[in-house]
Chain A
Amino acid sequence: MALDNADILNIAKLARLQVDASQVDNYASSISSILNLVDSMQQVDTDGIEPLANPLDAQQRLRADQVTASNKRDEYLAIAPKTEAGLFLVPKVIE
């Protein structure tokens, strides 16, 4: 499976990764080589085989709906890149 430059730019956008024009060819070749590696699995007959999501086929364990964690707002804000008035600050979203 070979990817072209438009594919790479689309994947990069979905992945929220800025890719410069000079890097597109490199990504196209390295990602295509990985996809070629994994393509061999398409030859395998897996009809009737259930997908294995958890290796133990375990079900998600549930817990009682009770508050267990304490409020650590100040500690979390202290490690944020930018904060204001007790909030995480990001570039303006709405004009």
Chain B
Amino acid sequence: MPYTTIAQLSQGLKNGTFSSRELTQDVIADIKARDHLYNSFITLSEEQALAQADVADQRIAAGEAAPMTGVPIAHKDLFCTQGVRTTAASKILENFVPPYNSTVSQLFVDAGAVSVGKTNLDEFAMGSSNEHSFFGTVKNPWKLDAVPGGSSGGSAAAVAAGLITGATGTDTGGSIRQPAAFCNLTGIKPTYGRVSRFGIIAYASSLDQAGPMTRTAEDAAMMMNVMAQFDPQDSTSMQMATPDYTTSLNDSLAGLKIGLPKEFFEAGLNPQVAAATMNAIKQYEAMGAELVDISLPNLQLCIPAYYVIAPSEASSNLSRYDGARYGYRCQDPVDLMDMYCRTRAEGFGEEVKNRIMVGTYALSEGFYDAYYLKAQRIRRLIKNDFVKAFQQVDVIMGPVTPSPAFDIGSKTSDPVAMYLEDIYTLAINLAGIPALSTPAGFVDGLPVGLHIMGDYFSEAKLLNVAHQLQQATDWHMQTPNSI
């Protein structure tokens, strides 16, 4: 049943229109029939999914269903799933079957959701195009020779193609919002510390956050209700109550102050994307919102700060792949050093190795102050810009990406050109604030996302603001021609 929503499936399960087993069988059959077009899944977990569906059907019959009970979802293949292969789209974890669940995967199990499989991504979540996967490039359902964005490109393509109604993603520098924008989805990166990172394969630990990717803001709110919980197993998880994100979706936006940072609309932004973005923002004026010009003067510094902090933390996090305890090991190592060096050289892809090398250099003796510490000081300047802006306005809006989805292969030869694509998303992770992308129309048939950023822990407000736009427009309900 392509192109429905989590809310509709939840209702159908509750009403007994279909069982979770029937629904799950349909979804898996559909993925098997159509995913050859997109390559959005790395692993299907049919057996486990049907077992989960049966448990869900029993819960529903017993009148003990939660809103997500029986609803099929997919996890980005960065979330450890007990008994189901978890690869990070890397050769080094090609055969890794985790003995435990990430907290997020476990929360969905507890909620009765059915996980049908694991979606493709850029290796170790490093990339903006999903071209850096050991399991092959993912195709954008809106244009099959264009990228779906990255790193959560498989989750984005799967939802956009109607293969699944919701999927998890992670966002270290835009990896939920940029693919959501490229694939016409709602994707939210919560506040740092809102969603547990436990059991999610780490990229850059001070930036990583998990969030949902769905067609509607209402569905994102339903998934956030499951995901956003304090977790004692993540030392950076915030110990605070989680609101019900679905209850404030219809709040009035009268008097809402929307900040428009001039730095988001300067040179480099495709004029048609700028026009689509402004057209979406204008919808809010009819709802009683007020537009306020603001400035985030240190915005451009997000690129150098991010491309020091993220590779540095990555080089440290990825040192655990040593061939000793799990994952790939090279053939016949002659000694320990040979085992480490060849295992890692053979197991990691080029982009991952580039970032490990940059991070290793930045953290090496004599360079730490000039790179990592300097980048952390700049990180505070960027955060201070946002803190100041939120004294003036309730939310900030702008584009998610400078242009719509680019063609596969068009930027792979120059990593720096690819990095510049992240100009509007990186600062949000550096500051740690929440932000989402919601559909804002089309440029030459390709989707454009509206970026809505909020103060710390304002996820409910962001979902409310996105939901109101989705009530007034139907961009998010458009379907790609490939399905």
Contacts and interface: CB of A to CB of B under 8 A. Distances in A.
Nearest to A50: B380
B323 interface: yes
A41 B361 CA distance: 16
A18 B345 CA distance: 5
A53 interface: yes
Contact of A31 (B96, B357, B374): B357
Interface stretch (B60-68, B282-290, B303-311, B436-444): B303-311
Given A37-B303, A41-B308, A52 B379 contact: yes
B301 A41 contact: yes
Interface in A24-77: 27, 30-31, 33-35, 37-42, 44, 46, 49-56, 58, 60-61, 63, 72, 75-76
B373 to A, nearest CB: 5
Contacts of B345: 17-19
B377 interface: yes
- Most A-side CB within 10 Å, residue of B97, B377, B415: B377
A51 B377 contact: yes
B275 interface: no
B307 A38 contact: yes
Contacts of B107: none
Contacts of B430: 55
B333 A91 contact: yes
Given A15-B315, A41-B305, A58-B238, A91 B339 contact: yes
B338 A91 contact: yes
B374 A41 contact: yes
Given A51-B376, A53-B376, A91-B336, A15 B356 contact: yes
Contacts of B326: 76, 79-81
B357 A27 contact: yes
B376 A37 contact: no
Interface in B401-426: 414-416, 419
A65 to B, nearest CB: 14
Interface size class of A (residues with CB under 8 A): 35 or more
B287 to A, nearest CB: 30
Given A16-B341, A91-B339, A79 B376 contact: no
B456 A56 contact: yes
Contacts of A18: 341-342, 344-345
B232 interface: yes
A11 B342 CA distance: 15
- Most B-side CB within 10 Å, residue of A14, A16, A60, A72: A16
Given A51-B373, A53-B206, A91-B333, A80 B304 contact: no
A21 interface: no
Given A51-B377, A55-B432, A31 B354 contact: yes
Nearest to B306: A38
Contact of B335 (A3, A75, A92): A92
A39 B433 CA distance: 26
A90 B332 CA distance: 10
B377 A52 contact: yes
Interface in B315-336: 315, 319, 322-329, 333-336
Contact of B319 (A16, A60, A61): A16
Contacts of B380: 49-52
A85 interface: no
Nearest to A40: B304
A93 B97 contact: no
B25 interface: no
A91 B376 CA distance: 39
Contacts of A75: 99
A17 B370 contact: no
A59 B37 CA distance: 47
B7 interface: no
Nearest to B376: A51
A67 B369 CA distance: 38
A33 B417 CA distance: 10
Given A38-B375, A93-B335, 15 more contacts: A11-B364, A17-B345, A17-B353, A27-B357, A31-B361, A34-B415, A41-B301, A41-B305, A41-B374, A52-B383, A55-B379, A55-B383, A56-B456, A88-B324, A90-B324
8 contacts: A11-B360, A15-B357, A18-B342, A52-B379, A52-B383, A58-B238, A72-B99, A91-B336
Closest 10 A/B residue pairs (Cβ): A55-B432, A51-B376, A46-B377, A81-B329, A75-B99, A52-B380, A18-B341, A18-B345, A38-B304, A41-B304
